[in-house]
Chain A
Amino acid sequence: MLSEAAAEGSSKVVEVLEHELTTQPLVDIHLGGLDLSISNAVVYLWASAIVVFLIFFIASKRMRNRPGLLQSFAESLVNFGRGHLTGQIGEKGKKYYYLVLTIFVFILTTNLIGLIPKPGLMKPYLPTANINVTAAMAVVVFLTTQYLGVKNTELRRKREPIALSSDVPPVVAWTVKIVLFPFRILFTLLRKIGGYLKSWLLPPGVPKVLAVPLNGIFFLVHMVGELFRPVSLSVRLFGNTLAGHLVILVMLGLILEFGKWFVFVPAGAFVVIMTGFEIFVALLQAYIFALLSVLYIEGAIYAGH
């Protein structure tokens, strides 16, 4: 619909929307069936990644005892990541503080860079207004939670060492151990996955007649719940940024279309207010994304107890 309206050469509103909400390929790279071309979305994602990297890198280069502006800003971010954001993870989850902090700062930087008005030559684009970008981040969090859930399952029967009788020559003993090693790792992995999936079922102690259908229902419900989490994470971020951005762009398009001053005054004020609100929403959504990631990781580490 968008493209056919633009083809008619109709209103400026559609022009403005096309201006900022479509990805335009800059360098065309097509590998096989995949479209890997470098578009403006990719360039803006790289730009925000570089900005995030530079903030922390420059701040850590010359650390002084009386920190300047950038260093205290970076320090407050790191303290936020270690304290407030990741409150309940505790000991086992310390490795994931910085993953969550990076998610937070990256989403925040991407949204803020996307809010700055840029001329058409720079082909502006808000990457988080694209469901693929937010889905990619949500999939990273989802895979992390599943990996941690499997890794932290406690097996009741530990892996026993291979006991061979003592009159076997050491060469044979070592060969047997080396050959069997990958299979034992595989079996432990399968048992851990089984244990993790078993935590999605009913607690033990239910008679078999009831347990089988109830187990099936429980498992399905839990699986849908688990699969819904990355969907909700990505859709939340995507919808919030896209909605705010659309409102701002439509207002700008209205100003451009009717060039009169009595359209410009209220619509201009509205655009300013909405941009301010969008900054607030960007911060809030980045915080919520990171906080929910923390909660899911914590739920996976301390599995069920």
Chain B
Amino acid sequence: MDAETAKMLAAGLGIGLAAIGPGIGIGYLTGRATEAIARQPEAAGDIRTAMLIGAGMTEALTLYAFVISIILLFVA
């Protein structure tokens, strides 16, 4: 296996595996947020804001791996 193949393999595997953790995280977060909204509908605005902030932060973890994959494919 030469370097080019290894790079492509690493890029694909990296982004694929990196989608697992934040996927579980955001799913859990959204589930708990909908549960909280169901328990107290008048706090829906605050809960939605907190959920979106949490989703943005955990999304960043996938994106670190995405950036590394892009670097592997296109830069080196």
Taken together as a complex, chains A and B put the C-alpha atoms of A287 and B56 apart, in Å, by 9
Q: CB of B9 within 8 A of chain A?
A: no
B contact face: mostly helix, strand, loop, or mixed: helix
Q: Is the CB of B74 within 8 A of A239?
A: no
Other-chain residue from A236, A242, A243 in contact with B56 (beta carbon distance below 8 A): A236
> A238: which B residues are within 8 A, CB to CB?
63, 67
Q: Mark A215-246, 1 if CB is under 8 A from B, else 0.
A: 00000000000000000100110111011000
Taken together as a complex, chains A and B put the C-alpha atoms of A287 and B51 apart, in Å, by 13
> B63: which A residues are within 8 A, CB to CB?
235-236, 238-240, 243
Taken together as a complex, chains A and B put the C-alpha atoms of A236 and B55 apart, in Å, by 12
Q: Is the CB of B53 within 8 A of A243?
A: no
Q: How far is the CB of A53 from chain B (nearest CB, A)?
A: 27
Other-chain residue from B52, B53, B55, B60 in contact with A239 (beta carbon distance below 8 A): B60
Taking residues whose C-beta sits less than 8 angstroms from the other chain, chain A's interface range is 10 to 19
Other-chain residue from A2, A235, A242 in contact with B60 (beta carbon distance below 8 A): A235
> B53: which A residues are within 8 A, CB to CB?
288, 291
* A236-B56, A288-B56 known; A243+B74 contact, CB < 8 A: no
Show 10 A/B contacts (Cβ-Cβ < 8 Å), sorted by A: A2-B74, A232-B60, A232-B64, A235-B60, A239-B60, A239-B63, A240-B63, A242-B70, A243-B66, A288-B53
Chain B contact residues, CB within 8 Å of chain A: 52-53, 55-57, 59-60, 62-64, 66-67, 70, 73-74
Q: Which 4 A-B residue pairs are closest in the complex by CB-CB distance? A: A239-B63, A288-B56, A236-B60, A239-B66
Chain A contact residues, CB within 8 Å of chain B: 1-2, 131, 232, 235-236, 238-240, 242-243, 284-285, 287-288, 291
